[in-house]
Amino acid sequence: MTEMSWLLIGYGSLLRGDDGVGQRIAAAVADWQLPGVRSLPRHQLTPELAESLAYVDLALFVDASLQGTEVRIEPLSADSGPTVMGHYLTPSSLLGMTQWLYERCPQAWLISIPGQDFGLGDTLSESVEEAMTQVLHRLRDWFMAANRPVLDVRSESLLLSSDLNPPDSVE
């Protein structure tokens, strides 16, 4: 079995409270220096990330969310429509750009962490700190596992499996 290559992109503003959780998670994962895992903390998604995505098997995007009360893990697909070349890209539009430019695209998921405080400041709310700790523990276990991982989007949890494809339908 060949080792799977991973790219984790955590994004958001470090100066807007809970919005910085994606960058903080990406920075922590980068510090682990795990083989086969590359982690990029970013303020926002930019077209230059398409090249990095083109050369990995699996991608995780991590961002704060304005909605919900629990961490969500959702599969992503590449947008097939025209990609906006402006200042705002979504994970799906970035995946679409990757597909268009490089004729390949990694399997990808979005981890959304619900935030409470998006005001000016560089600290996270208590609930986001707790969620960040849980996500980091889960990611470390996942990256270090002997078996290849799969995201079970039906239960919104990270599982281990020899199958990398998410379920065909989400219940």
Task: Look up residue 77 and give its two tokens.
Answer: 């697909």
Task: Give the alpha-carbon dihedral of 110, 128, 16, 37, to 10 degrees.
Answer: -40
pLDDT along the chain (171 residues), means of 10: 84 96 98 95 96 96 94 92 66 95 95 95 95 94 66 44 32 29
Q: Which domains does the chain have, with CATH numbers?
A: 6-160 (3.40.50.1450)
- The pTM assigned to this predicted structure is 0.83
Q: How many CA atoms lie within 13 A of 66 on its CB side?
A: 3
pLDDT, one tens digit per residue, over 87-123 is 579 999 999 999 999 999 999 999 999 999 999 999 9
